[in-house]
Structure formats: C-alpha cells, structure tokens
Amino acid sequence: MTKLNQHKTNLPVAKGLAGVVVDSTAISNVRGRQGELSYRGVAIGELVNLPFHQVAGWVVSERLEDTFEGLLAASANLSEAETNLVLGIDPTVHPMRVLQCLIPVVSVGAEVGLAEVNQGIHIAAKLPAVVATHLRRKQVYLDPTRPYAERFLLAIGAGNNAQLIKAFEVAQILQLEHSFNAGTFASRVVASTLAPIASAIAAGIGALAGELHGGADQAVLDVADTLNNVDQAKSYVDHALANNIKVPGMGHREYRVKDPRAVYMFEWSKKLAIGTPHQQTFEILQAIELHFAQHMARVFGYVAHFVESRLDNRIFRPAAHYRGSHNRRLPSGFSTL
C-alpha cells in the first residue's frame, strides 16, 4: 500500500457529511444553536404573516414575488392525459411516492422554450392538482382566480375556511426552505450533473419522503392514532426512552433549542383543533412533546437551489473511505468467457 493510500485510509469519515461544508447558499440560514431560521436574511417571524405567493416567489428568485401567483395559476390544472396517469395509480400509494413518480411526466412541455426557473414553477404549480386528484380519485379543477392555498384546499374538499387557509399558508411558508437538508442536498447533487430540473425536484421529494426527514410528520400522526389519551402518550414516551426507540418528530438534528417553526405551527394547530374532533389528537401530540422534553411547499426551495446551483456549477463527487479487502481472488465457480 502506498503512503498516499495509507494516508487516505486514516482520514476520519464524516458519516452523513456531518459538519462538512459542501457549497455556499444565500437562500436560507439555519442557526441551530440560537434556534433561528431566515430566508434570504429575513427572519421567518417577519415572513409568516405575508401572503404565501409573495414569500415563495421571493425565495425562488428575488425578482418574482410580484408575478409568482400568476405563473402558478397559469399551470394549476392537469391535462386529461396527466389526470388519467394519476388515476391509474393504486389509491393506497402514498402521495409522496405519487409525486416522485409523476414529476418527470407533468414537466413534459415545460422544457420547451421556458427558462429553467419557469420550468420549475410550472412543475410546482401542478403538484396540488396531482395530490388532489390522487386523494379524491376523480378529475379536479383548481380555480386559477383564487390564491394558491385556497384553490388547493377547495380541490381536496377542505372547504373555504379563512382560518384554515391562513394556517395552511403559514405551514407552507415555514416548510419552504431549510438549507442543505437531505432533500435539498439530493436535489443539488442531481442538479450538479446538469440533469433537467424535473429530475432534481423528484430526487428531493424522494429524500423528503424518508422517515428521518419529512416523513416524520406522518409518522408522529400514526403514533398519535394508536394512543387514546394523554396518560398513554406519557407511557409511550417512557417506553421509547427506556428502550432507545426513536420518537417520531421529537428533536431536530440542526436545532439545539426549540425549532423556531414549531412555535408558529403549535399556535395554528391549537386554533384549528380545539373544539373539533381533532382536539384529542392535538392534546396527545402536545403531551408527547412536553413529556419528551422532560420533535409540499419544499418544492419551491428545490427550485431556488436548482437556480442558485447553476450560477457556479460543479458536479458533486465526494470521496469515500474504502474499507473492503485488497487483491482478492475470485471465488471458485467463476468462469471466463
């Protein structure tokens, strides 16, 4: 073994690229120790009360906030062929898997004559229709005269409740972007190969579906559905901690204090749940969080990172520490041609 190879073998391995700076960004800043999050230098506390389309357009490109809603509305609905593709998927398939599967398909036509950022907006605009069609098992119509959040909630049959619309907009703003998390990094790796934006978005959503990433939201609700009251929630947490079992949604890799997004999500969840059939679920989730302490909008962030990566692109090619054998012989039974 050469000295060079010996030197490489002894290099420390940063599992999960923990602490490794792989690129720079001006889109968002996660300050985990301080419990702060900002988009393009503005704290999320100043953004959550603004219209979603303004914030999303500004995050994607600082020049789009005034025209973003119009761009989204223009591509809000699926063609008949796209609708049939959605309806052809088994209704039991999780919506995240449906999105990952269909993003390259709904992008067809968007890649002709459009700038890459507009291709991304075209794809993002169609995703609410994909989800609504999959959930309702019929062709849906999203009214382009209504704002983005409102037309989606109407399409899935959630009604036209002003408080619900605002809560959904706040949730979308809080989930827009979170620096180089797994989904964003996956998206940027694909973008670095000069693949089309649809491929980069699909890769990001594939990572986001994981239980250790965006899938934690669904996992914690699944846990809550198995518990009947607050006392059971406490017993569940005690059992999980005693047996080193991960509690979905509890804790965050980046934040050493409370996730700043959770502050706003808690208030809106409380407003929407109290006095409804969902109040028990809210109280169980609150008990899990409190006892533990004794844890779709992201597509616009992927578009922003795709555009930013194009400014100074270089394909990602990290090194790996090889820990296998050297100079092995093939097992008996292999034959040459």
Q: Domains in the chain, ordered, with CATH?
A: 28-310 (1.10.580.10)
Q: Is the pLDDT of residue 231 over 80?
A: yes
Q: What is the predicted pLDDT for the residue at 264? A: 84
Q: Does position 262 have pLDDT exceeding 90, yes or no? A: no
Tell me what pLDDT residue 254 has: 54
Higher pLDDT, 235 or 128: 128
Q: Flag whether pLDDT at 173 surpasses 80.
A: yes
Question: What pLDDT does 233 receive?
Answer: 81
Calpha distance 214→16 (Å, rounded): 17
- Predicted pLDDT of residue 1: 39
Residue 30 and residue 37 in contact, taking contact as beta carbons nearer than 8 Å: yes
Q: How far is CA 256 from CA 32, 162, 246, 265, 286, in A?
A: 6, 34, 17, 18, 19
Segment 3-47, tens digit of pLDDT? 444 444 566 788 888 888 999 999 999 887 788 899 999 999 999
> How much is the pLDDT for 111?
63
What's the chain's average pLDDT? 85
- pLDDT category, 201, cuts 50, 70, 90? very high
Share of the chain above pLDDT 90, in %: 47
Residues 6+ apart with CB under 8 A from 302: 120, 183, 184, 187, 200, 201, 204, 205
Residue 255 pLDDT level (bands cut at 50, 70, 90)? very low
This prediction's pTM: 0.80
CA atoms 174, 200, 198, 218: torsion sign: negative
Q: What value does the mean pLDDT take over residues 271-300?
A: 77
Residue pair 22/316 in contact (Cβ under 8 Å)? The answer is yes
Residue 256 pLDDT exceeds 70: no
Per-residue pLDDT, averaged over 165-193, amounts to 92
Lowest mean pLDDT among 96-105, 132-141, 290-299: 290-299
Q: Return d(Cα 58, Cα 47) in angstroms, integer.
A: 11
Q: Which residues pair with 36 in a beta bridge?
A: 31
Task: Write down the pLDDT at residue 81.
Answer: 93
Q: Please report which confidence band the pLDDT of residue 192 belongs to, taking 50, 70 and 90 as the band edges.
A: very high
pLDDT tops 90 at residue 160: no
Locate 61 and state its tokens.
Answer: 């490109």
